[in-house]
Structure 1
Amino acid sequence: MAAELFNKLQEEMKAAMKSGDKDKLSTLRMLISEIKKVQIDSKKELTDEEVISILQKYIKQRKEAYTQYEQAGRKDLAEKELKEIEIVQQFLPPPLSEEELIKIVEETIQEVGASSIKDMGKVVKAVMDKVKGRAEGSLISKIVKEKLS
């Protein structure tokens, strides 16, 4: 069974074609081709979690491009990157608040029996599995580091 999220992206692409929304259409085409490329490479249908990770990777790339355009003084291209980020974020689950994430980190530390900074990798991996794309890895690492220090 194909991922529901992938089907939703395809439906949104058709709607963007009909409405003439060029920005949304080009962004969705890029995402869909990226997803299909991964499907072909892995020779299997992707799950929603795998599609979400592709979307997150795409957003991360757009943020990096945005930063580079800002530094180069290219406001026009930087704004285009921000538009793409906004479009893609519509398809991601809502991010966890920092309070929710702290609670999950604290619970995970108890579950894995972590006691020092040496256990950081184990805790971060367990938290990443729990939140499945609803929080950035850098924020998770920062919170885990604070709690284990």
Structure 2
Amino acid sequence: MSQLKTRIQDDMKAAMRAKDSARLGTIRMLLAAVKQREVDERIELDDAAVLAVIERMIKQRRDAITQFEAGGRADLAAAETAEIAVLEPYMPARLGGEELNAEIRGAIAELGLGAPQDLGKLMPVLKTRLAGRADMSQVSARAKALLSGS
């Protein structure tokens, strides 16, 4: 079993002991999503795959918050924000602006790219390297700017 999955299960037990129902519900939802993916794909997920599940759940909640705020439902947006607060500690530390640029420049140099149309070759490499450590839409924008020489 992956270390991250074990940590999540231990946190679930701690939330049960502390009778923290909000945290417990979110962790159970996370474990259910991981288990569902394992059953669907007939594999046991490693840490990277569990991180991908967590990242997808966080993205879904951010999208929901936008929709709820547009609809004037601050109560539902607050609930989604609370779930994000439970999920985010499982993600690795986010890269800062200059660290992110250094990673992108390194990949560009390693692959020998230099034209804006090379973005399609660069993004799959960056996606595997930066999974969970950066927002991929932000990575794409920065990579596009660096490739075009901006």
Give 1:1-149 correspondences, 5 Å limit.
2-149=1-148
Q: Distance in 2 between matches of 1:132 and 1:75?
A: 31
TM-score by length of 1: 0.97
State the AA in 2 paired with 1:48: D
Q: Distance in 2 between matches of 1:21 and 1:60?
A: 24
State the AA in 1 paired with 2:93: P
Give 1:132 shift. Answer: 2.4
Q: Distance in 2 between matches of 1:5 and 1:145?
A: 33
Q: Distance in 1 between matches of 2:90 and 2:62?
A: 17
Identity score, percent: 36
Q: Can you list the C-alpha shifts for 1:9-36, whole angstroms capped at 9, x where unaligned?
A: 1110111111011110000010000000
Q: Distance in 2 between matches of 1:140 and 1:124?
A: 8
Q: Distance in 1 between matches of 2:114 and 2:91?
A: 33
Q: SS of 1:44's equivalent?
A: coil
**What is the RMSD computed on CA atoms of the aligned residues?**
0.8
TM-score by length of 2: 0.96
State the AA in 1 paired with 2:124: K
State the AA in 1 paired with 2:111: V
Q: 118-127 or 75-84, which moves further after superposition?
A: 118-127
State the AA in 2 paired with 1:45: E
State the AA in 1 paired with 2:91: L
| Stretches (4+) displaced over 4 A | none
Give 1:92 shift. Answer: 0.8
Give 1:124 shift. Answer: 1.5
Matched positions, count: 148
Q: SS of 2:28's equivalent?
A: helix
Q: 9-18 or 127-136, which moves further after superposition?
A: 127-136
